[in-house]
Amino acid sequence: MVNKYENIFVLSGEDSLLCQSLSKRLHAPLISRPEIEKIKEGFFLAWQDGRLMLFDAGFPKKGLSVEFDARCTEQLSWPAPKNGPLAQAIGRKTQTVTDATAGWGQDCFHIFRMGYQVNCIERSKVIAELLRDGLFRLEQQFWMQQLKLKAPKLIVGNAIEILKSLDFTPDCIYLDPMFPPKRKKSALAKKAMVVLKDIVGNDDDRGELFASAWQATGRRVVVKSPDYAESIGGKPNESFAGKLVRYDVYLK
């Protein structure tokens, strides 16, 4: 899928080797700050405040990064309580989860915090770089090191193909595909979700993704959907409603 986020650059910084390596992985031009200031359209990646960030060249003052922090209403305990519709959908007897649509990694982190062993898959190379940086910083956090925990493993590529060749069988495969917006007016989406949607599109191949997940899972597939969307795998065995979303559960 061709989109405006393919016009992306890497801003050279103090760590030139790090910048050069990122530029090569993404096949993205490495440019200087004066050159960036001349660009009015497109996006660039840069390290700022110790993290990798994605900036809109037209609005370069505020960037996006992957952040893994406990939610403001949560205590930083380990593991977090298995409460709420997501935990119900994943299941208490589940041990291993593969998040096949990682995106900004927030659901992946929430599942990880509940004590599950988590792998995540992301097909956008740009988002994957931001995820990789976020996961690295997660492992540096005091509570992670104190408990000797390893961050979720990131796999980069098309989940439809990756799921067909896994060398392990996850108890649960979690899917959060992009859906077209409902026709009636809704609240303005957060900038991070707008960016993600522009990068990955509407996931029109979500039917194929579900089929791959169903073949690869050991016990269940969980699909997160907007409350207005039709189930992508037919009638689920169970469904748990959240705020504006639901989690459809398909049991093997």
Whole-model pTM? 0.87
Q: Is 99 helix (H, G, I), strand (E, B) or coil?
A: strand
The separation between the first and the last C-alpha atoms of the chain, rounded to the nearest angstrom, is 33
Average pLDDT over residues 157-176: 96
Q: How confident is the model at residue 9 (pLDDT cuts 50, 70, 90)?
A: confident
Superfamily of domain 84-251: Vaccinia Virus protein VP39 (3.40.50.150)
DSSP notation for 8-48? EEEE--S-HHHHHHHHHHHT--EE-HHHHHH--SSEEEEEE
pLDDT score, position 188: 44
Q: Per-residue pLDDT tens for 224-248? A: 998 888 899 999 999 999 888 999 9
pLDDT score, position 192: 65
Report the mean per-residue pLDDT for the chain: 86
Q: Is 202 helix (H, G, I), strand (E, B) or coil?
A: coil
Domain boundaries, the chain: 4-64, 84-251
Q: Per-residue pLDDT tens for 100-120? A: 999 999 999 999 999 999 999
pLDDT score, position 38: 79
User: How many contiguous H segments (helices) and E segments (strands) does the chain have?
Assistant: 9, 12
Q: Is the pLDDT reported for residue 186 higher than 80?
A: no
Q: Per-residue pLDDT tens for 54-110? A: 987 776 678 899 999 865 555 567 899 999 999 999 999 999 999 999 999 999 999
pLDDT score, position 37: 77
User: What's the residue count for the chain?
Assistant: 252
pLDDT score, position 35: 82
Q: How confident is the model at residue 137 (pLDDT cuts 50, 70, 90)?
A: very high
Give, in order, the Cα–Cα distances in Å from 144 to each of 67, 150, 153: 14, 7, 15
Average pLDDT over residues 172-201: 66
